[in-house]
Amino acid sequence: MNGKRYILTSPTIKANCLQYINEDIPLPEKGKRPYEVIVRKHVESITEQQRAGFHWLCKCLGDELGYTLQEIKEMAKKECMGCVGIKIGERVIEVTDSSEKLNKIEYSDLIECVYRLGAEAGVVLPTLDRWRAV
């Protein structure tokens, strides 16, 4: 797979993509794998601002409760995303998945989870607007 990815933002780009699919991609040779084209609604990737805000909230909650940023981050990811088991030899260890794979909307859910964890612990966390002003 060549990994090409196109985001259709205008009729011209859409037309160019369709032309590429219809005319420029050669038909697979006999015995070769066919091509796969996936069209889906575009959701933006997470932003550096989102990532930094999430870490700041984790630090704020950790400071209030006596935990590290990393401990709060791991708890939020486990609460929001769940765990997966990885097997090493005969041992199975539960780990949280990487939040780097999340899109902008899913990452917002992760931030909301930190607020919920704070509320459940009786901690009122500051808004991200306050963080941006700092």
DSSP string computed for 69-80: HHHHHHHHHHHH
pLDDT on residue 1: 44
Q: What local confidence, expressed as pLDDT, does residue 6 receive?
A: 64
pLDDT tens, N- to C-terminus, the chain (134 residues): 456 666 777 788 778 777 877 777 777 777 777 777 777 776 777 788 888 999 999 999 999 999 999 999 999 999 999 998 999 999 999 998 888 888 888 899 999 999 999 999 999 999 988 655 55
Give Cβ neighbours of residue 17 (< 8 Å, ≥ 6 apart).
6, 8
pLDDT in tens, 48-86: 888 899 999 999 999 999 999 999 999 999 999 999 899
**Residue 124 token pair:** 């009122």
For residue 38, what are the β-bridge partners?
none
Report the SS3 class of residue 16.
Answer: helix
Render 33-66 in DSSP notation, one character per residue: PPP--------PBPPHHHHHHHHHHHHHHHHHHT
How is residue 69 written in tokens? 């940023």
Which residues contact residue 7 at a Cβ distance below 8 angstroms, ignoring those fewer than 6 apart?
13, 42
Q: 48-133 has which CATH code?
A: 1.10.3790.10
